[in-house]
Amino acid sequence: MSFIMASHFTTPKKPLTWLITGCSSGFGLSLARIVQANGHNLIATSREPSNTPNLISEIEAKGGKWLKLDVNDPSCDGVIEELEAQGQPVDVLVSNAGFCIYNVAENFTDKEVRDLMETLYFGPSRLIRAAVRHQRQRRFGVIVNISSGAALEANPSMGAYAAGKGALDCMAKALAKEVEAFNIRVLTVLLGTFNTGMGNATILGRNPLPEDYRGSMSERIMDMMSKGRFAPNGDKDKAMKAVYEVIVGEGAGKHHEAERLLPLGRDLAARIQTVQDYLAHAMQIFGEICNNVHLEVN
């Protein structure tokens, strides 16, 4: 299957309506502000709007709308249907809401894994399916998933988080090929470590770390995150400016409107190289057998 991008992607010359999840802080809030500063229509969402009244006032004072949206709600896709019925077509859907629970893979509870998958995969998937149905009829739309280097190369203690991000990334790859004929673009944003405050909201798994893992990389990462020693590499506002430009085809995104993957962060670049080396090594060792397990043609 070829990964050659579509030759063109047509964006209407008008303000676009953006729906962004997880706008109470971090990437979501940064992108929301950039979207408004550039004259677009913004629908910001968060799980508990009552916790951020000042942000709601800021967004609404500039003509935006702030909605309560819990992506874990099985009926969260109803927000898309309501907006469309009200004459507010969602041109750009940005799935950004997320969180991480840290523990070694054998130690997660079912509930912890399911909660992560709801937020990182099932919730965004519901919103995407609803948005694409309408975008297909209009022959225009942009689906944006804020992903992570964890989906490429999961660090110890982040297996469940990586599984959720990786699941959405793989769905996006298929979706992009399915909908490009309808002038719908699917963009995955792979991010390294940024100053989003993620280190201040660390959640450790409920099961204590087994003694065998004492002194391991898993324990060191969990300790670093839980004690606030996390040192991000990137500037979230610079990253979201790049995301905005690539979505609208300006600045860094000019002439790259059909691209499907946007990597951001110096530390991410190193992780991409690690994955490339990992695959190259596998082919170096097993390439011959890889190419010699075919059916023999008589």
- Please identify which of the residues 102, 121, 161, 244 carries the catalytic annotation: 161
Buried b (16+ CB within 10 A) or exposed e, 24-40: bbbbbbbbbbbbbeeeb
- Please identify which of the residues 121, 148, 157, 165 carries the catalytic annotation: 165
Integer angstrom CA distances of residue 122 from 42, 52, 75, 171? 23, 25, 11, 11
User: How many Cβ atoms are within 10 Å of 163's Cβ, its own excluded?
Assistant: 19
Measure the CA–CA gap between 184 and 165, rounded to whole angstroms. Answer: 21
| Known catalytic membership, residue 165 | yes
The DSSP secondary structure of 50-97, one letter per residue, reads: GG-HHHHHHHHHTT-EEEE--TTSTTTTHHHHHHHHTT---SEEEE--
The vertex-172 CA angle with 253 and 268, nearest 5°, equals 60
CB-based contact 266:226 (threshold 8 Å): no
CA 137 centroid distance within chain = 25
Integer angstrom CA distances of residue 298 from 112, 226, 289, 290, 291? 52, 62, 20, 21, 18
List the beta strands (DSSP E) in the chain. 17-20, 41-46, 65-68, 92-95, 101-102, 141-148, 184-191, 203-204, 261-264
- Please identify which of the residues 147, 148, 157, 218 carries the catalytic annotation: 147
| Known catalytic membership, residue 278 | no
Q: How many CA atoms lie within 13 A of 260 on its CB side?
A: 19
Residue 17: strand pairing partners: 41
The residues that are catalytic are 147, 161, 165
